[in-house]
Amino acid sequence: MSLKLYLDLLSQPCRALYLFAKCNNIPFEFKRVDVMKGQHRSEEFLKVNALMKVPALKDGSFVLAESIAILLYLSRKFKTPDHWYPSDLQKRARVDEYLSWQHTSIRAKGSEVFLSRLMLPVLIGQPLPPEKVTGITQGLNFVLKQFEEKFLQDKAFIVGTEVSLADLVALVELMQPVGAGYNLFEERPKLAEWRSRVEAAVGPKLFEEAHQGILKAKYMTADKIPPQVLENIKKEALKQFGQI
């Protein structure tokens, strides 16, 4: 099998790729890269992706980084059903619009909630001050409101009547804070109904399979993380959030 995907399913972009490939019957070899163990910084992985990030794709001698680029590559190479990345110019532009927006909004804010509610307390051995957690959660709530009003509106899916790459990427990103114990769907019926439609389109069993790791993350303890990796993550997290 010439197509290899280098993934860690704790990562939102990796889960999106895994789900897209699986539900479209794209044959690939799963190459697990355990980020918590620092495997993305290993000499072996550096030969695949000098950016030291997952996901990465290797298709024969062709190597590609960045999840959105990989999703688009797979959709084109394997000629997946049109609804994923529509040929209609304006529908495609809507998918592109969300995929361009999400990096610094849904994904960034969801990751901050995951870090503040779960990872940082594990790393420093105590919860963050409530006011800091509240402020970070409010940042996610603000972009969720934008998502509902701008992208979802009253449609079944972001592009209308069928699931697209935009929906898949969006839902996978929103599962990250859920993994930290923040049920953002509970008081948002429109978002909850959309989630059900996307899961049904992907396949509930496949969706659950891809997310079982992140949904068990709340049981993570510091002793399960190698000391050097723990220290590196702690430094990066404190750099982002400031000294606690």
| Range of lowest pLDDT (103-112, 122-131, 148-157) | 122-131
Look up the CATH number of the domain holding residue 32. Answer: 3.40.30.10
pLDDT on residue 229: 66
| 112 inside domain | yes
Half-sphere exposure of 210 (CA within 13 A, CB side): 28
- The better pLDDT of the pair 234, 242 is held by 234
Question: Is the pLDDT assigned to residue 221 strictly greater than 50?
Answer: yes
Has residue 84 been placed in a domain? Answer: no
**Residue 113 near residue 174 (C-beta atoms within 8 A):** no
* Edge-to-edge strand list for the sheet holding 29-32: 29-32, 3-7, 56-59, 62-65
Q: Do the domain assignments include residue 121?
A: yes
68 and 95 in a common domain: no
β-bridge pairing 56-59 and 62-65 = antiparallel
pLDDT on residue 121:
83
Query: What is the CA angle 140-141-145, rounded to 5?
Result: 120
pLDDT at 194 over 60: yes
Q: Are residues 8 and 104 in the same domain?
A: no
Residues 45 and 157 in one domain: no
Task: Say if CB 218 and CB 180 are below 8 A apart.
Answer: yes
Asked if residue 100 and residue 54 are part of one domain, the reply reads no
The residue among 77, 111, 139 that closes a domain is: 77
Q: Is the peptide bond before 27 cis (omega within 30 degrees of 0)?
A: no
- Which of 55, 77, 99 marks a domain boundary? 77
pTM of the predicted protein model: 0.92
Type of residue at 104 = T
Q: What is the mean pLDDT of the chain?
A: 92
pLDDT at 63 exceeding the cut of 50: yes
Is residue 222 one of the residues assigned to a domain? yes
Query: At which of 26, 55, 77 does a domain end?
Result: 77
pLDDT, average across residues 157-169: 97
Residues 146 and 230 in one domain: yes
Least confident of 70-74, 126-130, 175-179, 184-188: 126-130
156: pLDDT strictly greater than 80: yes
Q: Is residue 227 part of a domain?
A: yes
Q: Is residue 105 part of a domain?
A: yes
Structurally, how many domains does the chain consist of? 2
Check whether residue 72 and residue 93 sit in a common domain.
no
Residue 51: pLDDT above 70?
A: yes
Q: Does residue 241 register a pLDDT over 70?
A: no
Query: How high is the pLDDT of residue 1?
Result: 58
Pair 154, 237 in one domain:
yes
Is position 180 within any domain? yes
In this structure, of 174-188, 194-208, 209-223, the range with the lowest mean pLDDT score is: 209-223
Give mean pLDDT, residues 72-85. 98
- Residue among 210, 185, 206 nearest 195 (CA): 185
Question: Is 82 within a domain?
Answer: no
% of the chain with per-residue pLDDT over 90: 77
The CATH number of the domain holding residue 185 is 1.20.1050.10
Residue range(s) defining the domain that contains residue 11: 3-77
- 75: pLDDT confidence band, cut at 50, 70 and 90? very high
Predicted confidence band at 231 (pLDDT cuts at 50, 70, 90)? confident
Residue linked to tokens 């114990």: 181
Q: Read out DSSP for 178-239?
A: HHTT--TTTT-HHHHHHHHHHHHHH-HHHHHHHHHHHHTGGG--GGGS-HHHHHHHHHHHHH
Question: Is the CB of residue 158 less than 8 Å from the CB of residue 87?
Answer: no
47 and 155 co-located in one domain: no
Q: Looking at residue 147, what is its pLDDT?
A: 98
Task: State both tokens at 88.
Answer: 């209609």
pLDDT of 244 strictly over 50: no
Domain shared by 20 and 119, yes or no: no
Do 132 and 230 lie in one domain? The reply is yes
Answer yes or no: do 46 and 112 share one domain: no
Asked if 120 and 234 sit in the same domain, the reply is: yes
pLDDT the model gives residue 80: 98
